[in-house]
Amino acid sequence: MKTLKTVEPLTTRLLEIQRINSAASLLSWDQETYMPAGGGEARAEQISTLQGIAHQKLVSPEIEGLLAAWIAPQTGAIQDSPGDAWDAPSRALLREVWRDYSRAKKLPSDFVITLSRECSLAQQVWAEAKKASNFALFLPNLRTILSLKQQEAHYLGYKDSPYDALLDAYEPGSTVATLRLLFAQVKARLVPLLQKIQNSQTLVDDSALFRSYDTAQQMEFGRLVLVAMGYDFERGRLDLSSHPFTTSFHPTDVRVTTRVFEHDLQSCLFSCIHEGGHGLYEQGLDTRYFGMPIGESVSLGIHESQSRMWENCVGRSRPFWRFFYPLLQQTFPQQLGSLDGDQFYAAINRVKPSLIRVEADELTYNLHIMLRFEIEQDLIEGRTSPENLPRIWNQKMQDYLGIVPSNDGEGVLQDVHWSFGAFGYFPTYTLGNLYSVQFYEQAKLEMPQLEASIEAGQLLELRRWLEQKIHRWGRMFTPDHLAQRVTGKSLDPEPFLSYVEKKYSEIYKL
């Protein structure tokens, strides 16, 4: 039997590449948290240099030669010897290394370095433009990034749409065609539900959530919840950034960020829970496989399922707040003392079309994603010019959500993703929503006492289940294979749609 020991010359080189990438990620994390404003240009050169080195090492003749000993060079088929097959981890490793290598081989190293540098610079300009609500400030950088991403799609190749080539980096196997069908199914059920809610006579008052809340106390409560979830602060941090994110350099060094506003209780709280879900995934990866693809998360859709499950299925549920709401009331007695648990539950689940995606309710959140999905396709396929984005964005917000941003900061500039070249990323958020409920319903089937445990503040049972079922497997399986292993079927929107219909019918007495 051939094992990982057989491919040790390969895994040794992969580990070196991973350490270089980890160093670049650390510089990126610092850029978003503590780097002084004047360090931007130098940081862009540092990050792009490291990523260029990592790319050159991955596509080197040494890696190519090692792979050729075990994989058919043109097809990626693993070469088995009679009576001497590969075990499952080594077979998965070779499959995933081939995927990464063959994709990277299509991209010239000079292009990789240029893209990295431009994205690092663009992120800093985006932050300034967002703060000033000045899209024109960011437009030159966006033009450059868009041109480079179109060029990347050309290098990678595609069958139907250049956007498919970019999607595949975040959700392997996903295409525009499959997503359009899936999103149409979701939209067909969400839009009528939203209309029913808007026509409902039941009013939900969430004004208490926008009183004055001490920001330091908000952060402390966020930490308390993260600890209860099982986020290990011996192997992680919580910091502030302009856009919440999670980054990992190793399962023993995983960092989450949040943002906090005095007059918005939900922003810090739910971004802590959301990013904590991402953080638990990274901390739950098998350290034995660090440096190998099988030691990485399988896809961003699956990754997002973890954060959305914790944020929504758990963090916006009645059982969760039966335990945590008294603690929150003790933290903010003046603001919440007169608000009972049912009123608070309704307030945090109020459906109201909003301008900001990350603060949207569970129902309208997916409409934000569909809007961005359409815009990204049009940009990559050349049907839309970036200078027209504010107008197009505002029109689609009107069409999808019935509201229009008053400025670019709360409109087209609100998300950081385009500044770092993440075209094809947004659809994974809706995929994550769908996966999250499918996984959570399975967890409840296998652990009938789960919600009783959550009501008692015992969240580690769910965390352990997720670690065993999803986290520790890394990229051992494809996203579809993993979903079938965990739930017995491929991605299915029905559990999510039934969940939101039941939940909001109860809250709004539909």
Residue ranges, the chain, pLDDT below 50: none
Per the DSSP assignment, residues forming a β-bridge with 261 are 264
At 358 the pLDDT is 86
Q: What is the pTM of this model?
A: 0.95
| Strand bridging mode 246-250 / 253-258 | antiparallel
* Residues with catalytic function: 275
Angstrom distances, CA of residue 87 to CA of 63, 80, 230, 337, 433: 21, 11, 32, 59, 33
* Dist CA 388 CA 144 (whole Å): 15
Is the separation of the CB atoms in 366 and 430 below 8 Å?
yes
pLDDT at 80: 80
Domain assignments of the chain as residue spans, ordered by start: 8-134, 176-508
Pick from 302, 307, 325, 274: which is nearest to 170 by CA? 302
Q: What is the pLDDT of residue 83?
A: 76
Q: Which residues pair with 253 in a beta bridge?
A: 250
Options 1.10.287.3510, 1.10.1370.30, 1.10.10.10, 3.40.50.1100; CATH of 176-508: 1.10.1370.30
CA distance 160 to 166: 12
Looking at residue 225, its pLDDT comes to 98
| Residue written as token pair 């997916």 | 366
